[in-house]
Structure 1
């Protein structure tokens, strides 16, 4: 039986038939504002508070204070305390970009992974990570190397990526083919705001629900409505769900 890491996100684990396969690397894609970073924060926070699993949060875009404020804004009031207790390990942009050289950054991360007992990791974002590389071949080589390092150190990881297109089939990059799973976050405009959706497009070694499901972002983070599939994403009215 395959061992799974539960996200603790209401509705999402049901779609994943229990969670993410242990030691997998999963790409979380979406255009700006779809909730990718919130999903990452929630995955790390739930790991500590619900499953006694420590987490590492790598951010090439925010400093530690920005990350803490974002976590607190969705109801994770004890985030700073968990960081201080080393339940959550933060590498922010000041640490990761200290040397403009990926080999130096990778060496520091590798040492940290080997010396600590953490089980979850979020990289926010892969888009900034890829700026280290000059061409597709170098990007592929280092992405595979980084993924192998994560797996070898027992980390079940979410890699967050910005996507320019609203719909994923219009914007498929190299990283989609090099990860174990792909989850897309989508939002569509309505007269009253936006409707939000999640699509688990691929997960190796496990059965998944491949429909597109509505989701909300509220106090406590993301909730997925796994019983509400099979609808148009473009309208309001009958397409609205509680909290949207």
Structure 2
């Protein structure tokens, strides 16, 4: 993928998450955060707006349909986030409405909400619960597409929370195909403990760290994500992967090379089987020693 500059990316400001996202999300990407009840969708979305307003000079809007602003402010205070202070400074606005009213408002040419967003120079918006944005006229996919088009009339990077079942049949949700970045949150019981994890299902136009990454929701701080440990992809590994499968590597055992017609094929897997004491480890050591003699690096694992 092409390399985006820092100005092209929106940093979430959430501890560890930007590392998973390889620096952030492309500006104006539609970010869908999905997960079952209690997985942390609201916390992630609110922190995204809070960090933007308090750290990156990017004012934001929080749209609520079910949780009252008073409860949201109370819960945010538990993480040390002073939303009322940011509201007084005109850097955050909290809107409590219904899905139907919000959907109609965002699609109007003279939208008061978008006018307010322009006035406060908002760059981020979090919508807490986009399920049920459909209409009697439009299919869910088309209705969601119309909805996000309305959000992008201003220079906003939206984070949209979507409640999804913890286990699905693997089929994609309509919202997932339209969203640019999809973050899946999960909460599982493992050995009498609840374990939270997140996974970037996709991020259009930008690279990201694949796999499942653990995270915590910490009192007085917020979300802390921990990137999965993995070996970096370096040029040497890329070159090593481009081996010639027609060439052979010497076994290092006199006479065995003749038996196997010159050695083991590059890139092949060879199993040496036998009972204890027949010489399996010695044969492996001779193979590695021959590689070292030829200037080749080797790795030996003992279990």
Aligned runs of 1:38-117 on 2, under 5 Å?
Answer: 38-76=43-81, 78-93=82-97, 96=98, 102-104=103-105, 106-107=107-108, 108-117=112-121
Residues 127-167 of structure 1: per-residue CA shift (max 9 Å, x gap): 24x2x5236x4433332222223223111111100012x24
Q: Residue 10 of structure 2 is aligned with which of 2, 5, 13? A: 5
Pairing partner for 2:136 from 131, 134, 137? 134
- 2:35 corresponds to 1:30: yes
Q: Secondary structure at 2:93's aligned position in 1?
A: strand
TM-score, with length taken from structure 1: 0.82
Seen in structure 2, the aligned counterparts of structure 1 residues 114 and 183 have a Cα distance that, compared at 3 Å, is same
d(CA) in 1 for partners of 2:69, 2:205: 35
**Counterpart-to-counterpart distance in 2, 1:39 and 1:101:** 21
Q: Name the CA distance, whole Å, in 2 between partners of 1:141 and 1:114.
A: 26
Per the alignment, residue 298 of structure 2 pairs with none
Pair 113,169 (structure 1): closer, same or farther in 2 beyond 3 Å? farther
Evaluate the alpha carbon distance shift between residue 45 and residue 142 of structure 1 in structure 2; reply closer, same or farther with a 3 A threshold.
same
Q: Report the Cα offset of residue 223 of structure 1.
A: 0.7
Higher RCO (C-alpha 8 Å, min separation 6):
1
- Distance (Å, rounded) in 1 between the aligned partners of 2:75 and 2:229: 29
- Return closer, same or farther for 1:100/1:55 CA change in 2, 3 Å cut-off: closer
Alignment root-mean-square deviation, CA: 2.3
* Unmatched 5+ stretches in structure 2: 232-303
After superposition, the Cα gap between the structure-2 partners of 1:71 and 1:169, relative to the gap in structure 1 and judged at 3 Å, is farther
- Among 118, 122, 134, the residue aligned to 2:122: 118
Q: Mark the CA change 1:100 to 1:210 in structure 2 (over 3 Å): closer, same or farther.
A: same
Match of 2:292 in 1: none
Residue 163 of structure 1: aligned partner: 164
Gaps (5+ residues) in structure 1?
A: 231-244
The structure number with the bigger radius of gyration is 2
Give the structure-2-normalised TM-score: 0.67
The structure with the largest helix share of the pair is 1
- Asked if the contact 2:184–2:199 (Cα under 8 Å) also holds between the matched residues in 1, the reply is yes
Match of 2:173 in 1: 173
